[in-house]
Amino acid sequence: MKNLIKVERAKKNWTQEYLANKIGVSRQSMNAIEAGKFIPSTLLALKMAKVFGTSVESIFQLEKSDTLL
Amino acid sequence: MKINKKQINKLILFASILWAACYLIALNVIKEYTLSNEIKVLLSILPTITFGILIYFYITSINLMDEVEKRIHLEAAVFAFSTGLALIMTIGIVDTAFDLNKEIFGTKKIFIYLFILYFIGVALSKNKYLFKK
Residue contact B129–A44, C-beta within 8 A: no
Nearest CB neighbour to A37, from listed B66, B69, B129: B129
**Residues B32 and B74 occupy one common structural domain:** no
**Residues B56 and B111 occupy one common structural domain:** no
**Residues B127 and B73 occupy one common structural domain:** yes
**Residues B49 and B108 occupy one common structural domain:** no
* Mean pLDDT, residues A22-38: 93
**Residues B85 and B53 occupy one common structural domain:** no
Per-residue confidence (pLDDT) for residue B99, from 0 to 100: 83
Q: Is the ipTM of this complex over 0.95?
A: no
* Domain A2-61: CATH class, spelled out: mainly alpha
**Residues B133 and B71 occupy one common structural domain:** yes
Q: What is the DSSP letter of A4?
A: -
Do the Cβ atoms of A36 and A3 come closer than 8 Å? Answer: yes
CA dihedral B71→A47→A68→A36, nearest 10 degrees, is -50
Quick: pLDDT tens for B31-77.
888 888 899 999 999 999 999 999 999 999 999 999 999 999 999 99
Candidates A40, A1, A36, A33; CA nearest to A16 is A33
Nearest CB neighbour to A40, from listed B67, B128, B129: B67
Give A-chain residues touching B73 at CB under 8 angstroms. none
Residue contact A24–B66, C-beta within 8 A: yes
**Residues B47 and B88 occupy one common structural domain:** no
Per-residue confidence (pLDDT) for residue B106, from 0 to 100: 82
Domain span at residue B33? Answer: 1-64
Percent above pLDDT 90 for chain B: 71
Give A-chain residues touching B4 at CB under 8 angstroms. none
Residue contact B67–A44, C-beta within 8 A: yes
Per-residue confidence (pLDDT) for residue B101, from 0 to 100: 84
Quickly list DSSP for chain B: ----HHHHHHHHHHHHHHHHHHHHHHHHHHHHS---HHHHHHHHHHHHHHHHHHHHHHHHHHHHS-HHHHHHHHHHHHHHHHHHHHHHHHHHHHHHHH---HHHHSHHHHHHHHHHHHHHHHHHHHIIIII--
pLDDT score of B133 more than 70: no
Quick: pLDDT tens for A2-23.
999 999 999 999 999 999 999 9
Residue contact A26–B68, C-beta within 8 A: yes
